[in-house]
Structure 1
């Protein structure tokens, strides 16, 4: 599954922080939310800080396909564009207290870079210093945050992602870029966007949708946790 990286400015994170939570069985909504939002095992304490986009940004967090490698086939670029539009529609359709707005090009609040790096290899010569030197399993998100507030996000996706993976990878990475950074490993969650063991979800439903609504409550509600 896709691994995450948090690049933190003035935010201390433990080295080698666990990238997934193990769930032996189904979790309550609160357990699920805390698992994906702060890496808390069921009944356990948070292992990561809660991270959110600041209130001032939530009316329109901009997102762009910031760079595309030369020679990327037009049909493959079309799949990335379609996947990005679908992900934005899925997230905005939840009615959460945050909206995404597509920008024509970067820099945006969330920049997406398609890179030539094959899955499992180290990114080099991407033109984005924050990405070079990091391993790219398939997709990767990096957040810059301070005091629990996300300042910006970078997403890298391999140009070699399979056709059927592109929409799912983009939806997952963008959701991660909203602050829900931890996967779940367990038999009950094979069809979750946050599954550590699969990569095929293209819709936000059930507890996946609940977690986003809880992280960014719709106007007039207050169900979020953490600072």
Structure 2
């Protein structure tokens, strides 16, 4: 995603690789390992592989926890519709996870989304959320709290200044990344992927994007996990 960042909280590397550069099309295995653990083609994982615990996967809750007062009602409606569409795309895959949207504050939901007034490239302030305040917001940011390779909580921040035509795509990618697929891909063959580093236009999970999410929760472990 253009101008996006994934940040790991807890006992995990603080400086995580944001994207993998690929020269051409990848096999399904290469694509999965790239988005799941930042592995360049034919190379080792650069990030830990993280998943939600099995006992939560069929009822992961998602909430639009806070929205800046600077957002006009019609703008909020765009974020609301984009979030519903993102959850619909993910649930339709039968990928081994199911997301339920709730109305609730942080602590009452697994994946908490905040629409903030911070302009892209500026430091977030006054959100009141540890893990967001004090960090630069490129355009969207995902912060994962994890322990023993299991995700415990996901925080998503999106700038209210995101362009209208990009909002649905940003939400789809951020929620997908909150499921553990944390790395973008940079390459001419992947401009129409939800994981594309240089664009925010994809609003459907198809092809290798869909394969990667199914593989993450339904497929066999990678060699990195078995070793």
TM interval, shorter chain, is over 0.9
Question: How far does residue 120 in structure 1 lie from its aligned partner after superposition?
Answer: 1.2
Report the CA distance between 1:185 and its aligned residue.
0.6
- The corresponding residue for 1:201 is 202
Contact 2:58 2:97 in 1 (8 A): yes
SS in 2 for 1:119: coil
Q: Is the CA contact 1:31–1:43 (under 8 Å) kept in the aligned structure 2?
A: yes
Q: Report if aligned partners of 2:70, 2:117 keep a CA contact under 8 Å in 1.
A: no
Are 2:102 and 1:103 aligned? yes
CA distance in 2, matches of 1:79, 1:65: 12
CA deviation profile, 1:86-134 (whole Å, cap 9, x unmatched): 0000000001111000011222100000000011111111121321111
TM-score scaled to structure 1, two decimals? Answer: 0.94
- SS of the equivalent of 2:156 reads strand
Q: How many residues align?
A: 221
Alignment partners' CA distance in 2, 1:211 and 1:156: 23
Q: Contact between 1:216 and 1:224, CA under 8 Å: does it hold in 2?
A: no
Aligned residue for 1:211, secondary structure, equals: helix
Shift of 1:17: 2.7
Give 1 or 2: higher helix fraction.
2
1:186 is matched with which residue? Answer: 187
Q: Secondary structure at the match of 2:103?
A: coil
1:137 aligns with 138
1:6 and 1:144 in contact (8 A); partners too: no
Question: Shift of residue 198 of structure 1?
Answer: 1.0
1:84 deviates by: 0.4
Tell me the equivalent position of 1:75. 74
Query: Which secondary structure state, in structure 2, belongs to the residue aligned with residue 88 of structure 1?
Result: helix
Structure 1 counterpart of 2:165: 164
Does the Cα contact within 8 Å between 2:7 and 2:141 map onto a contact in 1?
no
Distance 1:76 1:105 in 2: 20
Long gaps (5+) in structure 1 = none
Evaluate the alpha carbon distance shift between residue 2 and residue 180 of structure 1 in structure 2; reply closer, same or farther with a 3 A threshold. farther
Secondary structure of 1:58 counterpart: helix
Shift in Å, 1:171 = 0.3
- Residue 67 of structure 1 aligns to a residue whose secondary structure is strand
User: 8 Å contact 2:5–2:138 — kept in the other structure?
Assistant: no
Rate the CA distance shift 1:187–1:71 in 2: closer, same or farther, 3 A. closer
SS in 2 for 1:201: coil
